[in-house]
Amino acid sequence: MPALNIDFFLRPFAVVFYPFQTLFSFFLRSTSLGLFFSRPRTLAQHTAPNSSSIPSIMGTKKKVAIMTSGGDSPGMNGVVRACVRMAIHMGCDAYCIYEGYEGLVRGGDLIRKMEWHDVRGWLSEGGTLIGTARCMAFYERAGRLTAAKNMILNGIDALIICGGDGSLTGADRFRAEWPSLLEELVSTGVFKADQIAPYQHLNIVGLVGSIDNDLSGTDATIGCYSALARICYCIDLIEATASSHSRAFVIEVMGRHCGWLALMAGVATGADFIFIPEKPREDNWKEEMCGIVHQHRKLGKRKTIVIIAEGALDREGNKITPEMVKDLLADKDGLGLDTRITTLGHVQRGGTAVAYDRMLATLQGVEAVKAVLEATPETPTCFIAINENKIIRKPLVQAVQDTKEVAKAIQRQDFDLAMSLRDTEFTEQYKSFMMTTAGQLDKEILLPEKERMKIGFINVGAPAGGMNAAVRAGVAYCLSRGHEPIAIHNGFAGFARHHGDKPAGAVRSFNWLEVDNWASKGGSEIGTNRELPSESGMETIANLIEQYEFDALFLIGGFEAFHAVSQLRKARDQYPSLCIPLTLLPATISNNVPGTEYSLGSDTCLNELVDYCDKIKQSASATRRRVFVIETQGGRSGYAATLGGLGVGASAVYTPEEGLSLDMLAADVRHLKEVFAHDKGQSRAGRLILINEKASKVYNAKLIAEILRDEAHGRFESREGIPGHMQQGGVPSAMDRSRAVRLAIRCIQHLEKFGRNAHNKVKVDPMSATVIGIQSASIVFSPIKTLEEEETDWANRRPKAAYWLGMKDIVDILGGRPKYQKPEADLTGIKAKDVKRGIQEAV
């Protein structure tokens, strides 16, 4: 295993700092001081001669147990894998408690010590491999007393639990009772006082595994995006048959007290209407729904999709059922639509985890081990949360109370409070849904004629998942406010050379009926091109902006789009027509745009890459001792390779940021030889290495595979795999679709602030040319001037700093990769020439 030499940051795609002092202090806390000053004692010396009825206890080495409880969710196995391996890496013994609290009460072989290889291949497995079960005994003190006994017998006083709010509440109660449980075990003669002395305090950390995403205080729970992906996939299939027969479908999804799945599915698929527990529609919901559906049909829509959460209510607290909605849509005296009901049920819970849930599970698992070891008796029980791309610890009790308060508020019909108790994203996504679905019917939000703008939409760079969803959302918002959205087809190349083509030029108005179907479409329906404004002719572009009287430009794309905005901003002094507000929504699988930690399309890319690698790894495992070297896209950004490696459990990852050397390859060959030499025939013996396409000027996937094959000397095989443009994805992921809607609407609202004829204001306001992005815990607009001057590595087409770089150390640790020598930095310029000539020594 690699040495502990990493910097840990409390960020989801970064690693966790674990200072030596902390580890040493825990060692002291969990070890009797007498061991340092006296001879080692045998187990008999630890127990009284006549105490044969008193059980023996495991040694004093720190032991961490992992348990899954409640309903299963995709990603739980990733949690177990990360916790087991990180605990072992930290010098602890790792245990798994099988069958949840039932296993804790029953003990015996349901509490098992885990080795490194025991969790191999678990990332790609659905459900929970250590099981989960309801345990009525744990509700009683007698059951919890037995559980405490079993933990002490195994020497465990640190527990990590992955489950829902009920499971985590039970854990917190268990911790609160722990001192009294120990007293009772001593008073009843089960243990002697000196036996329980090292276990006076129970440390517990919670991880939220729930497809409903129903715990307050975190943006996402482990498994929720996998469930959302299943729902969107099913709705995409249903839409095809609905459109064919001009039918309506009422789709019921899970969510008894939380409407997150229904809401996000509605946003991601462009549903016509949704019902969620937190926000019942107005008292006249029947008329409202029928009115919206009627208007959509009047526009020419052939399908109607209504999504209803299982806990949906009206404002009087009465349950709304799918049958009620179906009858209303099918009423021959009303809409008279041919209507069907589809209840997705446990399909939502099953299957393997998507890339995001695998990363979330892994990184939260690593953080949970750190948290449980750092905890003190005074530390409140915490759970690991994620808020806008940042992993943090939060008090568990407060989160559970807030979650229960939502259910109570719904029961009291205080729906405004229920919505306020949800996170910011939930509320904003609800507004986004209403704006894109029913906004055009609300005449009250229309702007006065003089404030309405003409906004150009243009995609620049390579296609990325979510581009079409972003355009659709932006167009819907514009139409609802009275703006005129104009499509500029095929980027700046189409704008410059084909704007006036007949019968249809590159500049033309959007057809809402056509755009409304773009939510689930991949690629770019208005086309895209890598050509920059300077290559198309800056004067031509400036003249066309003036000719078409654009008041603002909304750009969607990757680093080329970032470069385009930079060029347009710099040319404002020369061309006054360019003094209009510009904003960029990053969309690239490389995730290399300065100013943001997330780009549209990056999640779709990772899902495609993880899916590809799972299939490849299955092949490698079936043939047993085989290594596949997978080449990923990403330009000079190692984002896809690194996060893909985290999602598939790669043995090694090679990125442009770190580089690649012969010494690294030699170390990895030795490691693979050792791994396969100790292979005992497990079915999951395949290995993966991921290499970014530009990690090295010399070593590519094919060459590395050949080197490994040659150096293996018959001990194992190697092959290369190149998924290529498959990584750009087909249907965009649910995350890319839903975030596209939210971010696109934010962009148009930002442009809207400048209004029409704002040339003088634009010229002096740095916020008139911006990039929207997720940074740490916030969505922010960053001035392009600041980004281009201070934060951009122009030579390598990426930000100077990337939050995910430290994640590579987590990949190495959990993959068991030994420490290796980092590649030397390249010498450049005059120094390189002088060193080659022997004039200067290389340092």
Question: Can you tell me the distance from the alpha carbon of 133 to that of 343, in angstroms, rounded to the nearest whole number?
Answer: 25
60 is in an annotated binding site: no
> Six-digit token pair at 168?
């985590």
Torsion of CA 120, 125, 130, 136, to 10 degrees: 170
Whether 208 contacts 168, CB under 8 Å: yes
Cβ atoms of 293 and 304 within 8 Å: the answer is yes
Joined together, the tokens standing for residue 531 give 């050509």
495 neighbors 506 (Cβ within 8 angstroms): yes
Sign of CA dihedral 420, 422, 424, 425: negative
Beta-bridge partners for 132: none
Q: Which residues contact 264 (CB under 8 A, 6 or more apart)?
A: 228, 429, 734, 738
Confirm whether residue 429 is marked as ligand binding.
Answer: no
Is 165 known as a binding-site position? yes
Q: Is 270 annotated as a binding residue?
A: no
Which amino acid does the sequence have at 692? N
CA distance 312 to 255: 8
Q: How many helices (H) and strands (E) does the chain have?
A: 30, 24
Q: Is 175 annotated as a binding residue?
A: no
Is 725 one of the annotated binding-site residues? yes
Instruction: Determine whether the annotation assigns residue 34 to a binding site.
Output: no
Q: Which two tokens stand for residue 137?
A: 């005994």
638 known ligand binder: no
Q: Is 244 annotated as a binding residue?
A: no
Contact 669, 625 (CB under 8 A): no
Peptide bond into 503 cis (omega under 30): yes
- 560-595 burial, b at 16+ Cβ within 10 Å, e below that, comes to bbbbbbbbbbbbbeebebbbbbbbbbbbbbbbbbbb
Annotated binding residue 572 = no
797 annotated among ligand-binding-site residues: yes
Whether 167 has a binding-site annotation, put simply, is yes
Q: Is 255 annotated as a binding residue?
A: yes
- Of 363, 424, 359, 358, residue with least CA distance to 391: 363
User: Given CA atoms 274, 436, 742, 283 in this order, what sign does their dihedral have?
Assistant: negative
- Shortest CA distance to 584 belongs to which of 772, 377, 841, 728? 772
Q: Is 144 annotated as a binding residue?
A: no
Q: Residue 10, exposed/middle/buried by CB under 10 A (0-12, 13-18, 19+)?
A: middle
Which H or E run includes 456? strand 454-460
Does the annotation place 719 within a ligand binding site?
yes
Tokens coding 756 = 């029409």
Is 726 part of any known ligand binding site?
yes
Question: E strand or H helix at 606, and its extent?
Answer: helix 602-622
CA distance 392 to 386: 6
Coil, strand, or helix at residue 485? Answer: strand
Q: Known binder of ligand: residue 693? A: yes
Distance from C-alpha of 565 to C-alpha of 785, rounded to nearest angstrom? 10
Contact by Cβ (8 Å): 647, 808: no
Residue 295 annotated in ligand binding: no
Instruction: Tell whether 530 is in a known binding site.
Output: yes
Residue positions annotated with a catalytic role:
212
Annotation-wise, does 465 bind a ligand? no
Q: Helix or strand or coil: residue 528?
A: coil
Query: Alpha carbon 319 to chain centroid distance?
Result: 33
Is 350 annotated for ligand binding? Answer: no
Burial class (CB in 10 A: 0-12, 13-18, 19+), 242: buried
Is 84 exposed, middle or buried (CB count within 10 Å of its CB: 0-12, 13-18, 19+)?
Answer: buried
Determine if residue 341 is labeled as part of a ligand binding site. Answer: no
- Mapped to the 3 state alphabet, what secondary structure does 756-796 carry? CCCHHHHHHCHHHEEEEEEECCEEEEEEHHHHHHHHEEHHH
**85 annotated as ligand-binding:** no
Residues 6+ apart with CB under 8 A from 693: 631, 632, 633, 634, 635, 700
Is 340 annotated as a binding-site member? yes
Any known ligand binding at 71? yes
Residue 658 assigned to a binding site = no
472 labelled binding-site residue: no
Q: Is 592 annotated as a binding residue?
A: yes
H/E segment holding residue 252? strand 248-253
Is 625 annotated in a binding site? The answer is no
Q: Read off φ and ψ for residue 135, nearest 5 degrees.
A: -135, 100
Q: Which residues are annotated as a binding site?
A: 71, 134-135, 164-167, 210-212, 247, 254-256, 310, 340, 346-349, 530, 588-592, 626, 633-635, 693, 719, 725-728, 797
Q: Which residues are annotated as a binding site for Mg(2+)?
A: 165
Q: Which residues are annotated as a binding site for ATP?
A: 71, 134-135, 164-167
Q: Which residues are annotated as a binding site for beta-D-fructose 2,6-bisphosphate?
A: 530, 588-592, 626, 633-635, 693, 719, 725-728, 797
Q: Which residues are annotated as a binding site for substrate?
A: 210-212, 247, 254-256, 310, 340, 346-349
